[in-house]
Chains A and B, each alone.
Chain A
Amino acid sequence: MSLLKEFSRIGRDLFLSGLVSSHGGNISIRAGDKIIITRRGSMLAHLNKEDLIETGLYKDDSGIIMASTEIIVHRAIYFNTSALAIVHSHPPAAIALSLFMDEIIPIDSEASYLLHKIPVIATKETIGSKDVANIIPDYLQEYKIVMLRGHGAFSIGDILEEAYMLHSTLENACRIIAYGKIFGNAFKEYRKDGDKYTKW
Chain B
Amino acid sequence: MGKILWVDLSKQSFQIKPLDKNIIRDFIGGRGSGVKILYDHLKKGTDPFSEKNLLIFATGPLTGTPVPMSGRFSAITLSPLTKTILDSNCGGNFGLQLKHAGFDMLVIEGKAKKIIYLAITPDNIKFENAEDLKGKTTIETRNIIEKKEKKKGSVVTIGPAGENKVRFASAENDGRFLGRGGIGAVMGSKNLKAIYAKGDKKIKVADPKSLEFFIYESRKWLKANPITSTGLPKFGTAVLMNIVHEAGILPINNFKSNQFASASDLSGEEVTEKLFIKKRACYRCPVACGRITKTSSKQGEGPEFETLWSLGALLGINDISWVAETGYLCNELGLDTISAGSTIACAMEMEEKGFISVGLKFGKKENIHKVLKDIAFRENIGNEMAEGSLLFSRKFGTGNESISVKGLELPAYDPRSAHGMALAYVTSNRGGCHLRAYMIAPELLGIPKKIDRFSDNGKAGLVAVMQDSAAASDSLIICRFASFAISDEYFSRLLSAVTGEDISTMNFRLIGERIFNLERLFNLREGFSFKDDNLPSRLILENLNKKRKINIDKMLNEYYRFRGWDDNGVPTSKKLEMLGLK
Contacts and interface: CB of A to CB of B under 8 A. Distances in A.
B448 to A, nearest CB: 7
B240 A62 contact: yes
B449 A62 contact: no
B505 interface: no
A84 interface: no
A39, A50, A64: which has the most chain B beta carbons within 10 Å?
A64
B198 interface: no
Interface string A40-71: 11100000001100000000111111111101
B525 interface: no
A129 B234 contact: no
B234 A60 contact: yes
B230 A129 contact: no
A62 B450 contact: no
Interface string A98-131: 0000000000000000000000000001011110
Nearest to B247: A50
B227 interface: yes
Contacts of B268: 62
B235 A129 contact: no
A3 to B, nearest CB: 18
A50 B450 CA distance: 10
Size bracket, chain A contacts: 20 to 34
A60 B223 contact: no
A23 interface: yes
A40 B154 CA distance: 39
A67 B224 contact: no
A62 B269 CA distance: 7
Interface string B306-337: 00000000000000000000000000000000
A57 B277 CA distance: 24
A41 B446 contact: yes
A69 B224 contact: yes
A125 B231 CA distance: 20
A64 B226 CA distance: 6
Interface string B235-267: 100011111000000000000000000000001
B229 A62 contact: no
A65 B440 CA distance: 13
A60 B449 contact: no
Contacts of B292: none
By secondary structure, the B interface counts as helix
B453 to A, nearest CB: 10
B226 A40 contact: yes
Interface string A15-59: 000000001000000000000000111100000001100000000
A39 B268 CA distance: 20
B271 to A, nearest CB: 11
A36 to B, nearest CB: 15
Contact of B235 (A60, A66, A71): A60
A125 B223 CA distance: 10
Contact of B230 (A23, A42, A64, A127): A64
B243 A62 contact: yes
B241 A62 contact: yes
A39 B318 CA distance: 29
B37 interface: no
Contacts of B242: 61-63
Nearest to A23: B449
A69 B220 CA distance: 12
Given A69-B226, A128-B224, A42 B446 contact: yes
B243 A66 contact: yes
A67 B243 CA distance: 12
B164 to A, nearest CB: 38
B223 A128 contact: yes
A62 B224 contact: no
Interface in B444-458: 445-450
Contact of B226 (A50, A65, A125): A65
Contacts of B231: 60, 62, 64-65
A130 B231 CA distance: 16
A127 B485 CA distance: 12
Interface string B194-230: 0000000000000000000000000010011111011
B227 A65 contact: yes
A130 B220 CA distance: 11
Contacts of A64: 226-227, 230-231, 234, 239
Given A41-B448, A65-B240, A69-B225, 11 more contacts: A41-B446, A42-B446, A60-B231, A61-B269, A62-B242, A63-B243, A64-B226, A64-B227, A64-B231, A65-B243, A66-B445
10 contacts: A41-B447, A60-B234, A62-B231, A62-B239, A62-B242, A65-B226, A65-B230, A65-B445, A68-B226, A69-B224
The 5 closest A-B pairs by CB, nearest first: A128-B224, A65-B231, A65-B227, A62-B242, A127-B224
Interface of A: 23, 39-42, 50-51, 60-69, 71-72, 125, 127-130
